[in-house]
Amino acid sequence: MTLNSIPAHKVETAVAASDILGETPLWCDRSRKLWWVDIDGRLHQSFDPATGEHQVRPYDCQFLGSQALTADGAHLLARDLSLHHRSADGYLSRQVCEVESGLDNRLNDGRVDARGRLWIGTMDNQLHRPNGSLYRVTGDGEVTPVFSDVIVTNGIAFSPDNRTLYFTDTRRYCTWQFDFDLDDGAIRNRRLFADYRSTQERPDGACVDNIGGLWTAFFSHGRVVRYRPDGRIDTVIPLPVTNPTCACFGGDDLKTLFVTTARKFLTPEQLSIEPQAGHVLAVHGIAQGLPEHRFANPG
């Protein structure tokens, strides 16, 4: 199998965001905007490729962990350990639920399935204790624990046929896959998909393309890779930053790969030679994505 490496000149800056910890990029087909968060900056942001407008709204919390699109055209925001509905005018109109309490954790990566349920996990704020868990959350705020013993939840994604769920624990350096039952929302048959324990490389956020490829960002290792459904890597995108965090497909044709990045953990010397650190990067025309599912509002 030939490995496809994307040349450096194909990677461009889409948004000069300078995020501390940019994450969870999602393309909204209704607003025709890219949305993402700066977790440590506590910012919810959008970018309109048609106009170049970059909007930023700060929130009062310790961490703004991730986001999801909602069926009513608004957003769901992971604020510390609870989920909040962000109304279309940008205000936190109500708390949907508290997902977890009593641990030194925060909410991190999540993704909505084709039935409108959010799969979201927690992570240890100290980055080494297995305090985290994966949860399934319904539109009426019902929270169901799925499994525990997680250090840093990441890389939640569903295959195009809705039969496979991918899950990464970044600080265990592994990605797993599960058989997924869309009707009853159950996962079974956990098995390793990608194992980096020997090198301690850090798979982070991920998305799938329309033919089932899994695109994963590698935090602290400056690249995005595409896995075939059989687990083999067929595409590598070297990036001009050390810390890519997550990827999504966007644009009206869903053929632009957007990649969020981070300035966090970089030294002043590294930042001086990585002017794009913290920016949203883009690569055009290498694959096509799928529309994001939306969290099912009650009623």
Residues belonging to the active site: 204
Side-chain half-sphere of 13: how many Cα atoms within 13 Å? 12
Question: Tokens 């810390």 label which residue?
Answer: 243
Within 10 A of 209 (CB to CB), how many other CB atoms are there?
Answer: 19
Cα–Cα distance measured from residue 66 to residue 214, given in angstroms and rounded to the nearest whole number: 19
Measure Cα distances from 24 to 3, 140, 179, 270 in Å. 27, 23, 24, 24
The maximal CA–CA distance of the chain, rounded, in angstroms, is: 53
Q: Which two tokens mark 10?
A: 């194909």
Query: Distance between alpha carbon 128 and the CA centroid of its chain, in Å?
Result: 20
